[in-house]
C-alpha cells in the first residue's frame, strides 16, 4: 500500500487551483480565442457549472465506495482487469498531458528567453525539480503547493491590475463569434481544462474523509473558474480578437505590453520565474498522479524507484515530438476529448455501479 | 546513519554543481559588451534587393574619443549607422553583423522608421506584420513615417543637448505628452489598428528639416495663428538637429493615405484622448490683430456616442477641455466673468471648426476612421456576422458627426487684473 500522507482542505484547493490555472500561462487562452473569439471568458460560465455537476457525480461515486480510492473503485465496479485498464488509460492521459506541458513550457522558454540553448537542456533542467517533487511524495508536493499559492495568486492579480491601462472595453465586441449555441458547445468541451479535479479522487484517502473531498473539490473548481474567467476577460479587453488569436502565449504578450512611463517596463522578466515554478508544480502533480495510479494498479508500495525511469520516458517522449505545431494539434485534440476520460470514466463507473447495485463496504473510518 | 550523511553530502554537491549551470543560462549568456544595440531601424525600398535597411546603433565609444562630439559643437551623435540591402529585416541584421564584432540586438530599439514611399505601398504591411514575431522586438517601440527616405532621416537623427542616444530617442517621442503635436504612435496601437476594422491606425510623421528660416523681405509672407500648421520637415526653425517629428501619418488599412499637420494632430488627440496638454494660440476675439495664448488640457474623457440605427451612422462627439490663460497681447481683462465667457466661446468655436474640418478631411479625402468612432459603433453589435454586414469602413465616410466642444478657463496665470 502506497503511503501518501494526509492533507487538509486548504492544500487540496491549492493543488487543484495551481494545476488548473497554470494552463493560462501557455497556449490555451489563444486556442480558446480562436474558438470563441472575445467571449472566451463567457465560455467559463458554461464550463464551470458542467465541471461542478461532473464533480458531483464523481463525489457520488466516491461516496458509494467509502475508504476506496478511484483505482480501487474502478476495480470493484468493472472487475480487476477492466478496472485496471481504465485506471491505466487515465494514467496514460496524465502522462500524455505532462509530456505536452513539459514540451510546451520548454518551447515557450526557448522562443522567449533562451533561444540558443538546446531544447534538450531546457527539458532536463525542467524535469529535475519535477522528478524531485515526485520522488519526495504527495505530502511534500501538497506543502509546496500551499506555500507557493500566495506568491502565485499575487503574481496573477498583479498582472491583472498592472494591465488596467491597456483594457479597452470595445475589444469585447462583437461578443459572439459563432452564436450562443456555439459558445455552449465550446464550454462543454473546454470543461476538460478543469479535469485535474479528478486527481482528488485518486488521492481521496489523503483527504481525511469524503466531506473534505467534496468541500475541497467544489471550492477549488469555483476558485479556478474565477481566476480563469478574470484572466481571459483581461486578455480579451487588452487585445482585439485578430491579435489575440495570433499570439502564441497571450499572458506573456500581456506582461510585455505593460509599461508605466519610460522606466517601468519589461515586467515579463519577473513573471518568467512565476510561470516556471507554476509549470514545475503542475507537471509535478501530474507525474505524481501517474506514479500513484501505477503503484495502486500494480500493488507497488513505494513510488521512488519509478521516478527516474519515468523521467527518462518523459524526456524521450518530449524529444520525439517534432515541432511546436504538432504540440498545438495534440493539445487541441486533448482539450476537445479529454473530458471524456476525466469525467466520462468516473460517471460511467457510477452508472455501472448503480445498474449493477455494487456498493462499497462501510468501514469505521 | 553514516550512509544517510553520505547521501546528503552527495545531494548537496550535486545541487552545487547543477544549479550554477542552470541558473547562468550558459548558452544564452550575452555580456552587454557583446551586443550592438540598435536604437532606430529604417525601412526603404531597395534597389539591388527588396529592402534597404538602415540600422542606427548606439556607439560604445567614450565621449572624448571623437566621433561622438563634433568640433564646433552643435549636432553631435553617439551613434553609428549601417545601411544594407536585403530581402528581409532578419537577413539584413545578419548582413549588417559583418560590420561589427558585436551581435546586433533589437532589444532596445526605440523607433522604426518607414519611408513614405514604402508606407504608401503595400510593402509596409509585409514588413510590419512580421515584427512582433521576433522575440527581441517590443510592441512599445514607436513607428515613424519619414517624408523622405528613412536612411536620410536616420542620418540626421542625432542627439541634441545629450550624449546618451538611447535616453534621448526614448524621450523625444514621449514629448507628445508635453505638446501633443504627435500622435502616440506606439507599435502596439498601430498593429491593433491594422488588424481590426473598428479603427484605422496613425503613425508619427517624421522628416528632415533644412533648418533655414526665410530672410526678412524675402517675398511670400505666411502668417500662422495656431503655430501648429506644419508637417515634419517644414517647421520654420533653425538650430537643433535636422530630424523633425511633427504631425501624423494617416492610414487606411495597411496603406498610408495622407498626413495631418501638427494642429490637426492635436485636434485628433482631443478626440482619441492622446492630448495631455498643449499651449494653444487663437486670435483675440475682441481684437483680432492680437493673439491670446492658452494652456489647454482635457477636463474629462471625450464622450463619443454612435447611433447605428439608421442607414447613416450618427456620431455625437463631446470634447471637454479646461485651460489657463498664458498671454493676452491686447491687455483686455479676460479675467472678468463676462469677458472670460467670450474667450471661452471663441476657443470652443475655433476648436469646433478645426474638428469639423478634420472630420470632413478624414471622411471625404482619407476615408479613414482615425478617431476610432468604430470602437463605439461596434458595441451595438453582439454577433460578428451582423458587424461584418454593417461594414463600418464603408459607413464611416457617410456618418453625420455632431461636434460639441466645452471649454472652461480655470486659472488666469500669475496675473489677475
CATH code where residue B330 lies: 3.30.300.210
A-chain residue closest to B166, CA distance? A262
Do B255 and B314 belong to one domain?
no
The SS3 assignment for B367 reads coil
Q: Tell me which chain B residues have a C-beta less than 8 angstroms from the C-beta of A116.
A: 27-28
The band of B223, judged by pLDDT with boundaries at 50, 70 and 90, is: low
pLDDT in tens, A187-214: 999 999 999 999 999 999 999 889 999 9
Measure in Å the smallest separation between the Cα of B375 and chain A Cα atoms: 6
Instruction: Report CB contact under 8 Å: B28, A175.
Output: no
Cβ–Cβ under 8 Å, residues A174 and A241: no
Measure in Å the smallest separation between the Cα of B24 and chain A Cα atoms: 11
A-chain residue closest to B23, CA distance? A125
Least confident interval from A109-113, A227-231, A288-292, B347-351: A109-113
Residue A246 — φ and ψ, nearest 5°? -100, 0
Q: What is residue A361's DSSP assignment?
A: P
CATH number of the structural domain spanning residue A138: 1.20.1740.10
The answer to the question of residue A359 being in a domain is no
Q: What is residue B365's DSSP assignment?
A: I
Which one of B22, B25, B386 has the shortest CB-CB distance to A174? B386
Provide the domain count of chain B.
Answer: 2
The answer to the question of residue B258 being in a domain is yes
Do B262 and B281 belong to one domain?
no
CA dihedral A233, A239, A240, A244 (to 10 degrees): -90
Do B381 and B292 belong to one domain?
yes
Q: How many CA atoms lie within 13 A of B285 on its CB side?
A: 15
Angle, to 10 degrees, between the axis of helix A304-320 and the axis of helix A119-136?
Answer: 160
Measure in Å the smallest separation between the Cα of A227 and chain B Cα atoms: 25
CA-nearest of A48, A23, A12 to A231 is A23
Least confident interval from A106-110, A272-276, B149-153: A272-276
The answer to the question of residue B371 being in a domain is yes
Domain extent at residue B234 = 33-62+75-211+225-272
B170 and chain A: CB distance < 8 Å anywhere? yes
Grid cell 498545438 in the structure block, residue: A328
The answer to the question of residue B381 being in a domain is yes
- pLDDT mean over A14-28: 93
DSSP secondary structure letters along A282-306: HHHHHHHHHHHHHHHHTT-S-SHHH
To test the contact with chain A by mutation, choose from B192, B386, B389, B391 the residue with the greatest count of A C-beta atoms within 10 A, namely B192
Q: What is the pLDDT of residue B63?
A: 52
Q: Tell me which chain A residues have a C-beta less than 8 angstroms from the C-beta of B195.
A: 240, 242-243
Do B336 and B239 belong to one domain?
no
Rounded-to-integer distance, Cα B182 and Cα B174, Å? 9
CA distances from A356 to A73, A340, A350, B24, B113 (A): 14, 22, 10, 60, 74
Q: Tell me which chain B residues have a C-beta less than 8 angstroms from the C-beta of A115.
A: 28, 135
The answer to the question of residue B220 being in a domain is no
Domain extent at residue A308 = 9-350
Residue A4 — φ and ψ, nearest 5°? -115, -5
Do B245 and B281 belong to one domain?
no
CA-nearest of B334, B225, B198, B320 to B280 is B225
Q: What is the pLDDT of residue B176?
A: 59
Q: What is the pLDDT of residue A364?
A: 47
Do B117 and B255 belong to one domain?
yes
Instruction: Report CB contact under 8 Å: A257, B382.
Output: no
A-chain residue closest to B139, CA distance? A257
Do B101 and B239 belong to one domain?
yes
pLDDT in tens, B236-270: 888 889 999 999 999 999 999 999 999 999 999 99
Q: Tell me which chain A residues have a C-beta less than 8 angstroms from the C-beta of B386.
A: 174
Rounded-to-integer distance, Cα B296 and Cα B323, Å? 4
pLDDT in tens, A38-63: 999 999 999 999 999 999 999 999 99
Measure in Å the smallest separation between the Cα of A142 and chain B Cα atoms: 22
Provide the domain count of chain A.
Answer: 1
Q: What is the pLDDT of residue B72?
A: 44
B140 and chain A: CB distance < 8 Å anywhere? yes
The SS3 assignment for B307 reads strand
Do B238 and B339 belong to one domain?
no
Q: Residue A204 burial by CB count (10 A; 0-12/13-18/19+): exposed, middle or buried?
A: buried
Instruction: For residue A174, say if its preceding peptide bond is cis, omega within 30 degrees of 0.
Output: yes
The answer to the question of residue A356 being in a domain is no
A-chain residue closest to B135, CA distance? A112
B349 and chain A: CB distance < 8 Å anywhere? no
pLDDT in tens, B101-124: 899 999 999 999 999 999 999 889
Do B374 and B243 belong to one domain?
no
Instruction: Report CB contact under 8 Å: A115, B28.
Output: yes
Q: How many CA atoms lie within 13 A of B343 on its CB side?
A: 32
Cell of A206: 489523503
Do B164 and B241 belong to one domain?
yes
Give the β-pairing of B51-58 and B103-105. Answer: unpaired
- pLDDT mean over B8-25: 77
Q: Tell me which chain A residues have a C-beta less than 8 angstroms from the C-beta of B192.
A: 239-240, 243
A126 pLDDT exceeds 90? yes
Do B317 and B201 belong to one domain?
no
Instruction: Report CB contact under 8 Å: B140, A125.
Output: no
pLDDT in tens, B65-74: 444 444 444 4
pLDDT in tens, A62-80: 999 999 999 999 999 999 9
Do B107 and B196 belong to one domain?
yes
B218 pLDDT exceeds 70? no
Instruction: Provide the mean pLDDT of chain A.
Output: 92
Bigger pLDDT: B164 vs B345? B345
Amino acid at each position: 500500500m502506497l503511503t501518501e500522507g494526509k492533507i487538509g482542505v486548504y492544500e487540496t484547493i491549492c493543488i487543484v487551483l495551481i494545476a488548473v490555472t497554470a494552463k493560462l500561462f501557455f497556449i490555451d487562452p489563444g486556442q480558446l480565442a480562436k474558438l470563441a473569439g472575445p467571449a472566451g471568458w463567457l465560455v467559463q460560465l458554461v464550463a464551470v457549472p458542467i465541471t461542478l455537476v461532473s464533480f458531483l457525480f464523481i463525489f457520488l461515486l466516491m461516496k458509494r465506495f467509502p475508504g476506496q480510492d478511484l483505482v480501487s473503485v474502478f476495480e470493484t465496479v468493472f472487475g480487476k482487469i477492466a478496472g485496471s485498464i481504465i485506471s491505466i488509460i487515465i494514467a496514460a492521459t496524465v502522462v500524455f498531458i505532462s509530456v505536452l506541458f513539459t514540451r510546451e513550457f520548454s518551447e515557450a522558454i526557448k522562443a522567449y528567453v533562451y533561444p540558443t540553448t538546446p531544447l534538450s537542456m531546457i527539458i532536463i533542467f525542467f524535469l529535475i525539480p519535477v522528478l524531485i517533487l515526485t520522488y519526495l511524495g504527495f505530502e511534500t508536493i501538497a506543502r509546496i503547493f500551499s506555500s507557493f499559492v500566495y506568491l502565485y495568486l499575487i503574481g496573477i492579480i498583479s498582472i491583472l491590475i498592472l494591465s488596467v491601462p491597456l483594457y479597452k472595453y470595445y475589444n469585447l465586441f462583437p461578443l459572439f463569434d459563432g452564436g450562443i449555441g456555439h459558445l455552449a458547445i465550446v464550454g462543454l468541451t473546454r470543461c476538460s481544462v478543469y479535469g485535474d479535479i479528478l486527481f482528488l479522487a485518486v488521492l481521496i484517502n489523503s483527504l481525511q474523509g469524503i466531506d473534505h473531498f467534496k468541500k475541497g473539490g467544489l471550492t477549488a473548481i469555483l476558485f479556478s473558474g474565477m481566476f480563469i474567467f478574470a484572466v481571459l476577460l483581461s486578455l480579451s479587453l487588452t487585445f482585439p480578437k485578430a491579435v489575440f488569436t495570433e499570439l502564441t502565449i497571450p499572458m506573456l504578450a500581456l506582461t510585455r505590453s505593460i509599461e508605466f512611463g519610460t522606466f517601468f517596463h519589461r515586467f515579463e522578466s519577473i513573471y518568467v520565474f512565476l510561470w516556471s515554478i507554476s509549470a514545475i508544480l503542475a507537471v509535478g502533480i501530474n507525474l505524481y498522479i501517474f506514479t500513484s495510479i501505477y503503484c495502486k494498479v500494480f500493488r507497488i508500495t513505494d513510488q521512488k524507484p519509478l521516478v527516474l525511469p519515468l523521467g527518462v520516458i518523459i524526456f524521450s517522449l518530449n524529444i520525439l515530438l517534432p515541432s511546436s505545431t504538432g504540440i498545438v494539434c495534440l493539445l487541441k485534440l486533448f482539450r476537445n476529448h479529454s473530458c471524456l476520460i476525466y469525467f466520462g470514466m468516473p460517471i460511467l463507473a457510477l452508472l455501472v455501479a448503480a445498474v449493477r447495485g455494487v456498493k462499497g463496504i462501510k468501514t469505521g473510518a | 546513519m553514516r550512509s544517510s550523511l553520505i547521501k546528503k553530502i552527495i545531494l548537496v554537491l550535486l545541487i552545487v554543481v547543477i544549479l550554477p549551470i542552470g541558473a547562468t543560462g550558459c548558452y544564452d549568456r550575452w555580456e552587454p559588451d557583446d551586443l550592438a544595440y540598435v536604437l532606430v531601424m529604417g525601412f526603404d525600398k531597395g534597389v539591388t534587393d527588396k529592402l534597404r535597411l538602415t540600422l542606427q546603433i548606439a556607439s560604445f565609444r567614450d565621449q572624448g574619443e571623437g566621433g561622438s562630439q563634433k568640433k564646433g559643437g552643435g549636432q553631435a551623435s553617439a551613434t553609428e549607422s549601417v545601411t544594407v540591402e536585403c530581402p528581409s529585416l532578419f537577413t539584413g541584421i545578419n548582413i549588417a553583423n559583418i560590420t561589427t564584432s558585436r551581435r546586433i540586438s533589437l532589444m532596445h530599439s526605440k523607433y522604426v522608421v518607414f519611408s513614405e514611399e514604402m508606407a504608401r505601398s503595400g510593402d509596409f504591411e509585409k514588413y510590419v506584420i512580421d515584427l512582433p514575431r521576433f522575440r527581441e522586438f517590443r510592441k512599445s517601440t514607436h513607428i515613424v513615417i519619414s517624408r523622405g527616405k528613412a536612411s536620410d532621416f536616420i542620418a540626421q537623427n542625432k542627439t541634441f543637448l545629450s550624449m546618451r542616444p538611447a535616453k534621448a530617442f526614448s524621450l523625444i517621442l514621449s514629448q507628445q505628452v508635453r505638446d501633443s503635436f504627435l500622435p502616440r504612435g506606439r507599435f502596439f496601437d498601430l498593429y491593433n489598428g491594422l488588424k481590426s476594422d473598428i479603427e484605422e491606425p496613425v503613425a508619427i510623421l517624421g522628416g528632415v528639416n533644412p533648418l533655414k528660416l526665410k530672410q526678412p523681405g524675402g517675398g511670400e509672407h505666411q502668417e500662422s495663428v495656431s503655430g501648429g500648421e506644419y508637417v515634419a520637415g517644414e517647421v520654420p526653425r533653425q538650430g537643433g538637429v535636422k530630424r523633425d517629428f511633427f504631425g501624423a501619418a494617416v492610414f487606411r488599412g495597411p496603406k498610408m493615405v495622407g498626413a495631418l499637420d501638427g494642429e490637426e494632430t492635436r485636434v485628433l488627440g482631443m478626440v482619441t484622448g492622446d492630448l495631455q496638454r498643449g499651449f494653444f494660440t487663437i486670435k483675440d476675439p475682441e481684437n483680432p490683430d492680437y493673439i491670446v495664448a492658452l494652456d489647454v488640457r482635457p477636463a474629462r474623457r471625450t464622450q463619443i456616442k454612435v447611433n447605428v440605427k439608421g442607414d447613416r451612422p450618427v456620431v455625437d462627439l463631446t470634447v471637454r477641455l479646461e485651460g489657463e490663460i498664458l498671454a493676452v497681447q491686447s491687455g483686455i481683462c479676460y479675467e472678468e466673468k463676462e469677458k472670460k465667457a467670450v474667450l471661452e466661446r471663441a476657443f470652443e468655436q475655433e476648436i469646433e471648426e478645426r474638428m469639423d474640418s478634420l472630420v470632413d478631411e478624414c471622411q471625404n479625402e482619407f476615408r479613414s476612421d482615425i478617431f476610432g468612432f468604430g470602437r463605439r459603433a461596434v458595441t451595438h453589435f453582439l454577433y460578428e456576422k451582423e458587424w461584418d454586414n454593417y461594414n463600418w469602413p464603408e459607413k464611416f465616410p457617410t456618418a453625420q458627426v455632431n461636434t460639441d466642444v466645452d471649454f472652461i478657463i480655470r486659472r488666469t496665470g500669475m496675473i489677475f487684473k
